[in-house]
Amino acid sequence: MLKVTLDLRCNVCGGERFMIPTPNDQEQDVRCADCHAFKCCSDALEETMASARRRLPHQDQWGYLAS
């Protein structure tokens, strides 16, 4: 799993950090890194992550890879 900070808010604790599954992980759910609440399926976040990666060099509102 990758711990990432995204421009998204956990709807339980309001946290911005999420655990993102890698292709090798059995579990493919995206969960809040703080309270472990189920956030959404990884497919739904795929485009967000792609956007985040494209924006990484700028360290802007999409946040950064924390791990």
Footprint of Zn ion (CB under 5 A): 10, 12-13, 15, 32, 34-35, 37
Residue closer to Zn ion (CB basis): 14 or 56: 14
Residue closer to Zn ion (CB basis): 7 or 54: 7
Distances (CA, A) of 66 to 1, 17, 32, 33: 12, 9, 14, 11
Q: Strand (E) positions, 1-67?
A: 2-5, 17-20, 29-32, 38-41
Residue closer to Zn ion (CB basis): 35 or 56: 35
- Give least dist CB 24 to Zn ion, A: 24
